[in-house]
Amino acid sequence: MNALAAETSPYLQQHADNPVQWYPWNPEALALARDSGKPILLSIGYSACHWCHVMAHESFEDPTTAEVMNRLYVNIKVDREERPDLDRIYQNAFQLLNQRAGGWPLTVFLTPDDHVPFFAGTYFPPEPRHGMPSFRDVLEQVAAFYHQNRDEISAQNERLLDALASFNPRPTQAARLDAAPLDQARQQLGAHYDRQYGGFGGAPKFPHPNNLERLLRHWAMTRDAGQADDAALEMVTNTLQAMAAGGIYDQLGGGFCRYAVDEHWSIPHFEKMLYDNGPLLHLYAAAWAATGTGLFRRIAEETGEWVLREMTSSDGGFWSTLDADSEDEEGRFYVWTPDEVRALLDADEYAVAARLWGLDQPANFEGKWHLRVMIAPADLARELKRSPEDVLRLRESARRKLFAARERRVHPGRDEKILTAWNGLMIRGLASAGRLLGREDFIDAAARAVDFIRDHLYRDGRLVAGIKDGRVNPNRYLDDHVFLIDGLLELLQARFRPADLQLAIELADTVLADFQDELAGGFFFTPADHESLILRPKPIADDAIPAGNGIAARVLLRLGHLLGETRYLEAAEATLHCAWSHLEQYASLHGALLDALEESLHHPEIVVLRGDPTELPAWQTKLAHPWQPRRLVLAIPVDAPELPSLLAQRPAPATGVTAWICRGTACEAPVRKLADL
């Protein structure tokens, strides 16, 4: 057993019995590398990662490979979900060293004294194949190169550090903010849109909810200006329909897998990540509110129900991931044979299920069938000469039976870390869907998650990154704070609780105090008191999750206008100025920042409702439709205590409801009749 057994991460614990002498990233391991002169082999992955499991079985469990690793390196294993700072830095280093995007498992070789990478890869096979060298050959050759070429490596490291620093936006002269990046992003996304299958680019195909929400917001902005960009809306709706029909969506249990290996969404990598499903839940609910398309409502509801059923702890926090594998096979939990399905359904149900989900087509995943929608229910109804209602009834009864049978299988492993940032994304998704769809159970779940974080992860005014088995991860990151503020603002619209507003204010003040770059603008990913690393990142571009600087700017703008707090508004504007040159160069990589830019140019509409709690819901419902992404509505009951000063200046009426409507710093006269709203 190595040094990983006592770690909280399930991913690290999976490697505790490896013959590799693994260490976690800690001062002791770094000191051992420095004192021994051995380079560091840094391996970064996560528990739901299929290829991480493959490399572990092939190499890390192999005594011969382990002997080479132990002899030549100090081996450090990192869970990218617990240490997103390390993952962000070394993924960027991989990109610079290899001129392409990285991934997981990430395999990086570092110099022992300064932890700068001099060689990086991802998965390596145990034997040479597909043009890749064997992992053992890589180990021997990299170690030999390190010991024989110190001067060359030192010079390369200096260049790499300079290049890494370029990922952070450089200070520029204050620019005049305008809408040009918004229009540029629309054109760039249109140029990369896959008109045949939806989404952006080819295989592998990711959902990219940030891009889709940007297009949906762009459509809403043009709609309100009387020149609706229906082509932008069509890109969103076509993609959402294609994903909902594809195998990337769990047709039986709800929820989305991380990405599809093909361009038409049929076969996923089967892991399910909380951080994908929170934004997608919000997006499908918003798309339903914008278009009224029933499919989008169903997918949002099924995804939310999956979260409540399979990803929610008894204490209310949300777990992180479900593995791709079960019983050592990728996708085994999800796939079927026609005979298995036929044995579970009656003849009418099977006739619908087989045609609908492709069981009458050739096998599509390693000799078995992964379900995806092959024909629209309305077309199937005509084909089978049944009513559409009958087909939908048979589909639902077949789905229930197959789901019940699947529940008896061995389930994929679940990583039960509760990560603050990812919980913030899901709180926003559930609160948004709950408000738009009228699902009180979704709002209840979002509120319970906030209470869990407040009780377990917010200590002495400090918000920490996560918890597992009662042990907290004491690190603090920008995303933890701003994603949670974003979730709180959405929850406050669904159900006003004064303590949630107070928490949002406290977190915003912490963001300014601990993360802000007061000289150049924007926010660092780590606080000032964080461990010193080779770079203090300032993320502005979206990746699998939205960029923390973009979310920070948007939530600070909203809080600033809501509370009349100029410090928040100034920090948000400084963030946009800091990132401006990047927005001008390639706008579509910065969806979260573009949302903030939009709300800086077109101030959010803040509506405060005060009055009788029995009458407030009718006003909330009226304000929720049509979908208005820049509208923030707080329905504050007459007896709400301890309101911030600006809200307290909007007194509740003796009877009925009063609405205060403000845009930026301009407010209209109070509205006291729903008909006048």
CATH of the domain at 397: 1.10.10
Q: Which amino acid is at 245?
A: A
Across the range 310-331, mean pLDDT stands at 96
pLDDT of residue 174: 67
Across the range 130-135, mean pLDDT stands at 90
pLDDT of residue 526: 98
Domain-ending residue, one of 362, 379, 408: 408
Residue 470 belongs to a domain: no
The two three-digit tokens of residue 116, written as one number: 């700068």
Length of the chain in residues, anyone?
Answer: 677
DSSP SS3 for 357: helix
Q: Dihedral angle at the C-alpha atoms of 152, 156, 157, 161, nearest 10 degrees?
A: 160
- CATH number, residue 73: 3.40.30.10
Q: How confident is the model at residue 625 (pLDDT cuts 50, 70, 90)?
A: confident
pLDDT score of 237 more than 80 = yes
pLDDT of residue 653: 86
Across the range 125-154, mean pLDDT stands at 94
Q: Compute CA distances 233 → 190, 215, 240, whole Å.
A: 11, 7, 11
Q: What is the pLDDT of residues 634-644, one digit of tens each?
A: 999 988 887 88
Domain-ending residue, one of 165, 190, 216: 165
Q: What is the pLDDT of residues 171-188, one digit of tens each?
A: 676 678 999 999 999 999
Tally Cβ neighbours within 10 Å of residue 123: 19
DSSP SS3 for 197: coil
Q: How confident is the model at residue 549 (pLDDT cuts 50, 70, 90)?
A: very high
362 burial via Cβ count (<10 Å: 0-12, 13-18, 19+): exposed
pLDDT, mean over the chain: 96
pLDDT of residue 644: 86
Residue 356 belongs to a domain: yes
Residue 209 belongs to a domain: no
Residue 95: give the domain boundaries. Answer: 10-165
pLDDT score of 666 more than 90 = no
Beta carbons of 524 and 663 less than 8 angstroms apart: no
Q: How confident is the model at residue 665 (pLDDT cuts 50, 70, 90)?
A: confident
Q: What percent of the chain has pLDDT over 90?
A: 93
Across the range 407-435, mean pLDDT stands at 98
Residue 419 belongs to a domain: no
Question: Model's pTM, two decimal places?
Answer: 0.96
Q: What is the pLDDT of residues 373-386, one digit of tens each?
A: 999 999 999 999 99
186 burial via Cβ count (<10 Å: 0-12, 13-18, 19+): buried
pLDDT of residue 209: 97
Beta carbons of 628 and 587 less than 8 angstroms apart: no
Q: Which residues, 6+ apart, have CB-to-CB distance to 144 below 8 Å? A: none
Q: Of all helices (H) and strands (E), which one includes residue 162? A: helix 150-165
Per-residue DSSP letter, 589: G
Q: In terms of DSSP H, where are the helices of 438-469?
A: 440-456
Domain-ending residue, one of 374, 391, 408: 408
d(CA 523, CA 552): 8
The two three-digit tokens of residue 251, written as one number: 């047709």
Residue 210 belongs to a domain: no
Lowest mean pLDDT among 2-6, 133-137, 528-532, 654-658: 654-658
d(CA 311, CA 620): 29
Q: What is the pLDDT of residues 104-121, one digit of tens each?
A: 999 999 999 999 999 999
Tally Cβ neighbours within 10 Å of residue 199: 28
pLDDT score of 211 more than 80 = yes
Report how many domains make up the chain.
3
Residue 268 belongs to a domain: no
The two three-digit tokens of residue 405, written as one number: 């049978």
Task: For 221, list phi and psi in degrees, rounded to 5.
Answer: -65, -45
Across the range 36-60, mean pLDDT stands at 95
Residue 301 belongs to a domain: no
Side-chain half-sphere of 62: how many Cα atoms within 13 Å?
15
pLDDT score of 570 more than 70 = yes
Task: For 273, list phi and psi in degrees, rounded to 5.
Answer: -115, 135
pLDDT of residue 341: 98
Residue 15 belongs to a domain: yes
pLDDT score of 123 more than 80 = yes
Beta carbons of 499 and 39 less than 8 angstroms apart: no
Across the range 299-319, mean pLDDT stands at 98
Tally Cβ neighbours within 10 Å of residue 146: 21
Across the range 263-292, mean pLDDT stands at 97
pLDDT score of 170 more than 70 = yes
Q: Count each helix (H run) and each strand (E run) in the chain, helices first.
A: 26, 21
